Amino acid sequence: MKPQKLDSKILLFIKDIRIAVLVLGTAILFYACQNNEIDKIQAFSSPEELPILETKNFVTLMSDSGLIRNSLRAPVLLQFDNGGKSYYEFPEGMELVKFDEHQNIISSITADYAKQFVKEKKWEAKNNVVVTNERGDSLKTEVLTWEEKTEKIYTEEFVKIIRDNQIITGVGLTSDQNMLNWKIKNPKGTIYISVDEKEQNAEANSGSDNNPKIEPQQQTKTQAIKFK
């Protein structure tokens, strides 16, 4: 009888060990899966990737000495604070307009996407960026940076300057923030898009019944460009 009791105890002990191992393994597996899920959730919803503020149909006016100097409009504004690095994002575009002391528009910037870095006082605009100045000139490019501290704008991308009588193209540009004193780093050329009225009339009257009239054509010319 004693050997049988001993065998039963051994079998019971082995059974208990198997159950303990199974429970421990299940617990470890559950803990690992739980940690993985938590890691996934934390990675997906990381505070660094989530805005701390979201505003729609955003409009603000910035004044100096009681005078409005800037107006900013955006369909959506998102504010982020990533490890103390605060910035605003405009995922659906923005329009920034600057005024002089007489409330006349002296420049404007529009883009389909933009970021404003608060501490650095820097803007980055992308996609269909258009800058205009008080003379009516327009700058078109796909990427533009505006440094508020130095009051400069610049880009390394292809640019197009549209004026009353010409279109100037090139790659890379630096300018003051009002787009009055600008320089294209690598000029490509100038396309003249207007014709002098006297020249147009002279060409129109130079035809006869035997000679068909030649309509004035746009003059296209590539040349070295002088900048102000």
Extents of the domains making up the chain? 53-192
Give me the pLDDT at residue 85, please: 81
Given a contact cutoff of 8 angstroms between Cβ atoms, the answer to whether 103 and 115 are in contact is no
Give me the pLDDT at residue 221, please: 36
Residue 209: phi and psi, rounded to 5, are -65, -35
- How is residue 208 written in tokens? 């006869």
Residues linked to residue 216 through DSSP beta bridges, in sequence order: none
Distance (Å, whole) CA 125 – CA 145: 6
Distance (Å, whole) CA 186 – CA 108: 24
Give domain 53-192's CATH number out of 3.40.50.970, 3.40.50.300, 2.60.450.10, 1.10.10.10: 2.60.450.10
Distance (Å, whole) CA 192 – CA 220: 6
Give me the pLDDT at residue 66, please: 84
Give me the pLDDT at residue 218, please: 37
C-alpha radius of gyration, the chain, whole number: 34
Distance (Å, whole) CA 11 – CA 168: 93
Look at residues 126, 172, 180 and name the one whose alpha carbon lies nearest to residue 151.
180
pTM exceeds 0.75, yes or no? no
Give me the pLDDT at residue 213, please: 33
Give me the pLDDT at residue 223, please: 33
Give me the pLDDT at residue 12, please: 52
Given a contact cutoff of 8 angstroms between Cβ atoms, the answer to whether 129 and 115 are in contact is no
Dihedral of alpha carbons 77, 78, 79, 85, sign: negative
Look at residues 55, 74, 73, 72 and name the one whose alpha carbon lies nearest to residue 63.
72
- How is residue 150 written in tokens? 């130095």
Give me the pLDDT at residue 41, please: 40
Tokens 């198997």 locate to 18
Output DSSP code: residue 165.
S
- How is residue 26 written in tokens? 């299940």
pLDDT in 10s for each residue of the chain, 228 residues? 444 454 555 555 545 555 554 545 554 544 444 555 545 444 444 555 789 999 999 999 988 888 888 999 999 999 998 777 899 999 999 999 999 888 899 999 999 999 999 899 999 999 999 999 999 999 999 999 999 999 999 999 999 999 988 999 999 999 999 999 999 999 999 898 865 544 554 555 554 444 333 233 333 333 333 333
- How is residue 115 written in tokens? 């970021």
